[in-house]
């Protein structure tokens, strides 16, 4: 459904992975979503990490990991900013 532009998906590594802080077990899933349709993806830290207790992630690490995995500046801007603006109907700054 993401590939066909019918659904949106949230990239939230900390909820998918049991291997923090590298989240290598979530990488194939992340890459498959990027390949399917990156214009239908939004990033989320899932802060305030309810129910995670001591396993709550460092949001800076999460953001860096997504940035590394996406790689491309324009695509990173889309996933972190522009797609959410389209989905939720607000304008971006700049």
Tens-binned pLDDT, residue by residue, of the chain (94 aa): 999 999 999 998 887 788 888 899 999 999 999 999 999 999 988 888 777 788 788 888 888 998 899 989 999 999 999 999 999 999 876 5
Predicted model pTM: 0.86
Domain range for 56 is: 9-88
Q: What are phi and psi of 72, to 5 degrees?
A: -80, 130
Q: Is residue 81 part of a domain?
A: yes
Q: Is residue 36 part of a domain?
A: yes
Q: Is residue 94 part of a domain?
A: no
45, 12 in Cβ contact below 8 A?
yes
Alpha-carbon gap, residue 40 to 82, rounded angstroms? 10
Q: Give how many domains the chain has, as a whole number.
A: 1
Q: Is residue 1 part of a domain?
A: no
Q: Is residue 93 part of a domain?
A: no
């Amino acid at each position: 459904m993401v590939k066909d532009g019918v659904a949106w998906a949230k990239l939230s590594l900390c909820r998918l992975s049991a291997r923090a802080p590298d989240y290598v077990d979530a990488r194939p899933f992340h890459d498959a979503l990027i390949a399917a349709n990156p214009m239908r993806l939004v990033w989320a830290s899932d802060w305030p990490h309810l129910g995670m207790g001591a396993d709550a992630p460092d949001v800076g690490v999460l953001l860096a990991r997504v940035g590394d995995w996406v790689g491309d500046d324009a695509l990173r801007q889309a996933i972190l900013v522009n797609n959410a603006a389209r989905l939720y109907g607000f304008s971006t700054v700049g």
